[in-house]
Amino acid sequence: MGSDETKSTLETENSNVQGSCTTKKCCWMTQFVLRFVLFAATLISVVVMVTSKQTKNIFIPGTPIRIPSAKFTNSPALIYFVVALSVACFYSIVSTLVTISAFRKPSSSAILLLSLAIMDVLMVGIVASATGAGGGVAYIGLKGNKDVRWGKICHIYDKFCRHIGSAIAVSLVASIILILLSIISMLSLYKKIR
């Protein structure tokens, strides 16, 4: 008799714990928060990269000489970075709206979950490749490459290089968020199909 009471008490406690936050609700709320943070990270990264411009003046007695401006449009890799993260930023807005509508409609379809999972994986590839391309350019700017005689420029364009480094660091966070979203989307899809 005592063991039956203990079992019923444990079952009641387990149902209360599960009732406080259902798996679907927590999953959708986690996705919503991560997608909002993804929006913020991609937007910050794009804004920081676009505002990265620096012009230097060297004063030689008698005449000031201007060194060409350093800006992100001087490098195709950094242009790709801005475009790719702009696409990811737009995707985060759309996917956040889809997540909100799916949360309000608890019987979300497997097609919707599959679409989110596929797009999340696609965005991981796009953002990770853009981060790698931008990181390669930033590394050459910081260290140079003696073998091909590419000189470092970060000792001259320090503000420009700080902007690029900050934008790449934030985009790396966006890549990690997208990986987490991909995992959550696939787990949600797996639970829906199962």
Q: For residue 58, what pLDDT is reported?
A: 65
Token pair recorded at residue 47: 């804004």
Residue 165 belongs to a domain: yes
Residue 123 belongs to a domain: yes
Residue 15 belongs to a domain: no
Residue 107 belongs to a domain: yes
Q: For residue 35, what pLDDT is reported?
A: 92
Distances (CA, A) of 190 to 18, 186, 193: 20, 6, 5
Residue 27 belongs to a domain: yes
9 Cα distance to chain centroid: 45
Token pair recorded at residue 103: 């949360």
Q: For residue 188, what pLDDT is reported?
A: 76
Q: For residue 177, what pLDDT is reported?
A: 94
Domain encompassing residue 85:
23-193
Percentage of the chain modeled with pLDDT above 90: 35
Residue 9 belongs to a domain: no
Distances (CA, A) of 37 to 69, 96, 105, 115, 170: 33, 10, 23, 20, 11
Domain count, the chain: 1
Q: ∠177-40-106 over CA atoms, to 5°? A: 65
Residue 14 belongs to a domain: no
- Closest to 35 measured CA to CA, from 82, 85, 94, 86: 94
Q: For residue 24, what pLDDT is reported?
A: 65
Residue 12 belongs to a domain: no
Low-confidence ranges of the chain (pLDDT < 70): 1-24, 57-67, 106-108, 194
On whether the CB atoms of residues 53 and 60 are closer than 8 A, the answer is no
